Chains A and B, each alone.
Chain A
Amino acid sequence: MSVKKFLYVNRKAPYGTVYALESLEVVLIGAAFEQDVSLLFADDGVYQLTKGHDTKDLEMKNFSPAFSALGDYDVNKIFVEKESLEERGLTLEDLQHLTWEDEDEDWAEKDSIRLVSRAEVGELMETQDVILSF
Chain B
Amino acid sequence: MILHTVNKSPFEKNSLESCLQHAQKGSAVLLIEDGVFGATKGTKISDRVSEAMSNDITVYALEGDLKARGVADKVMDGVKLVDYAGFVDLSVDQDKVQAWL
Which of A's residues lie within 8 Å of B, judged by CB?
A: 12-17, 43-44, 47, 50-58, 60, 62, 64, 87-89, 94
Contacts and interface: CB of A to CB of B under 8 A. Distances in A.
Given A44-B12, A47-B69, A57-B63, A87 B43 contact: yes
A45 B79 CA distance: 24
B67 A44 contact: no
A92 B9 CA distance: 21
B40 interface: yes
B41 A13 contact: no
Interface residues of B, number: 26
A99 to B, nearest CB: 19
Interface in B31-67: 33-34, 37, 40-44, 46, 63-65, 67
B69 A15 contact: yes
Interface of B: 7-9, 11-12, 33-34, 37, 40-44, 46, 63-65, 67-72, 74, 83-84
B41 A53 contact: no
A13 B43 contact: no
Given A12-B12, A57-B64, 12 more contacts: A14-B68, A44-B34, A47-B71, A53-B69, A53-B70, A54-B67, A54-B72, A55-B67, A57-B65, A57-B83, A89-B41, A89-B74
A-B pairs, top 9 by smallest CB distance, nearest first, are: A57-B64, A89-B42, A50-B70, A16-B34, A54-B67, A55-B68, A87-B44, A89-B43, A16-B33
A64 B71 CA distance: 14
Given A16-B9, A16-B33, A54 B68 contact: yes
A50 B40 contact: no
A94 B70 contact: yes
Nearest to A17: B34
Contacts of A52: 70, 72
A69 B39 CA distance: 31
Interface centre among B11, B46, B84, by most A CB within 10 Å? B11
B71 A50 contact: yes
Contact of B11 (A51, A60, A62, A87): A87
